[in-house]
Amino acid sequence: MTAVTDEVTRQGQAPPRGGRWIDDWEPDDERFWERTGRRIAVRNLVFSILTEHLGFCVWLLWSIAVLNMPSLSVGQKLWLTTLPNVVGAVLRIPYTFAPARFGGRNWTIVSALLLLIPCGLFVYAIENPDIPFWALLLIAATTGLGGGNFASSMSNITHFYPANRQGLPLGLNAAGGNIGVSVTQLAMPPLIVAFGLVAVGWVWMPFILLAATCSYFFMNNLTKATSSYTFREMVAISRRSQTVIMSVLYIGTFGSFIGYSFSFGVLIKAQFPDVKGANFIWLGAFAGSVARPLGGWLADRFGGARVTMIDFLLMGLGIVAVAVAVGAGNWPLFLAAFLFVFVTTGIGNGSTYKMIPAIFRAQALNGVDEADSSAVRRAMALARRNAAAVIGISSAVGAAGGVLIQQAFRISIEETAGIGPALAGLAVFYGVCMALTWYCYLRRVKSGDAVSQTSLAEAGV
């Protein structure tokens, strides 16, 4: 019997079914949370962050590699950084539902070990410089496995925390992964100088094995979070109006973060060719990653929709400042403005992910008698299950949005030799997202659907 089994049994609950499974998990029960739940949740969060972090490190391998491949055109470089994003976005759908099917701990182990594939293929590609471009594209596509990790990690951690305390842990979990982007972009250039480009593939392998081992020994599966989603259920969840709305908003926040992260080095080189981009590209992803927990904390304190709406306004203003810097050829202003935009993407990532659990909690509890504790528990379980699914779905759509941003920059550069048109389109899009947030979650209405904008606002959305 494991330590977790002993701990849960001492609280007077039924023991798990064996291994690293926990059968009785009631994080919204304050007594359970303080005595048992918090310690277990934090431990699982720590090792979830480790695996997700490595996923992002692997996902961004080619964003570094292309800067050291002068024979490639700007378009080819953007394709090699775009395809991993496409694959990562697509994989986030099955990865979302994998923890519910196999168990959060079990899938974390598998998803970590899968990262060995893109690392090994990267080494092969670099050691065979005559490999055709189509083969490079296929090899780069496998790094999308790292992008899928985010969805499974976030949907799994959602089940471990109380509904009213998910903003900060989800922000920390996501930030720990997101910062893998800047770690790759910061650590790899000196490693390449010392050992050659091939080292970018080798360096992550021992850490991947360590993450899988730690997940095996220290993480848990939650029985209540494990269930098989039918295809019909997945389609139904994806069609819900709240899923669609939050996915659009997440395109604006995470789509911007990952799109800019993949493209930042190429954009610097295209607009300021005399600047050594490798010295600066890590700053953007780092700023956005560090800001993500702040967005979750602000959303817990002031409401996710309020923070998100203001954040989109700031994102739009930041993009305008980037456009001014490009027009003036002002490198310091360009860097400062783009870093500001990265910070706002991080804040928006945290605040939107606070909104999702709050939305589905409000919907599930609508019409439920609060005096009926069993009914409340069932409603909360349903809310957590739906929120976990929507978090994964919106993360997939958001990542796909990053692809659109990358392609917008590619087309803008190829057609106009500049990024001005792409920046103008982004500024307009952020304005639309700001208006959508207000209309759906902040305006007050006297009546409406079962869960109106008023009730959502009162629920802390």
| Residue 222: its H or E element | strand 221-222
| Residue 114: its H or E element | helix 104-114
403 sits in the region (left: phi over 0; alpha: psi -120 to 50; else beta) called alpha
**C-alpha 142: how far from its chain's center?**
18
Which residue type sits at 145? L
DSSP 342-370: HHHHHHHHHHHHHHHHHHHHHHHHTT--T
For residue 132, the model assigns a pLDDT of: 92
Which residue type sits at 349? N
For residue 45, the model assigns a pLDDT of: 95
What does the H/E/C string look like for 64-99?
HHHHHCCCCCHHHHHHHHHHHHHHHHHHHHHHHHHH
- The class level of CATH for 3-458 reads mainly alpha
Which residue type sits at 189? P
Phi, psi of 22 (to 5 degrees): -120, 120
pTM, rounded to two decimals: 0.77
For residue 19, the model assigns a pLDDT of: 62
User: In terms of DSSP bridges, do strands 221-222 and 21-22 run parallel, antiparallel, or are they unpaired?
Assistant: parallel
Token pair recorded at residue 195: 């050992």
Task: Spell out the per-residue pLDDT of the chain, length 461, in tens.
Answer: 344 444 443 433 444 455 689 988 988 888 999 998 999 999 999 999 999 999 999 998 888 888 788 888 877 887 888 889 889 888 988 898 898 889 999 999 999 999 999 999 999 999 998 899 999 999 999 999 998 898 899 889 988 988 777 777 877 888 888 888 888 888 888 888 889 989 989 999 999 999 999 999 999 999 887 766 666 777 788 888 899 999 999 999 999 998 898 788 888 888 898 888 678 888 998 999 889 888 988 988 888 899 999 999 999 999 999 999 999 999 999 999 999 999 999 999 889 988 888 888 888 887 777 777 778 777 877 787 788 788 778 888 888 888 888 889 988 988 888 899 999 999 999 999 999 999 998 887 554 443 445 455 544 56
Q: How far apart are CA 441 and CA 390, in angstroms?
A: 17
Which residue carries 């694959």 as its tokens?
A: 87
- Candidates 201, 58, 203; CA nearest to 126 is 201
405-427 in b/e burial notation, b at 16+ Cβ within 10 A?
bbbbbbebbeeeeebebbbeebb
How open is the CA angle 76-77-80, to the nearest 5 degrees? 85
In contact, 198 and 188? CB cutoff 8 Å? no
**Four-residue CA torsion sign, 1, 16, 358, 367:** negative
Q: List the domain boundaries for the chain.
A: 3-458
The residue count of the chain comes to 461
How open is the CA angle 422-58-286, to the nearest 5 degrees? 55
Q: How far apart are CA 84 and CA 63, in angstroms?
A: 10
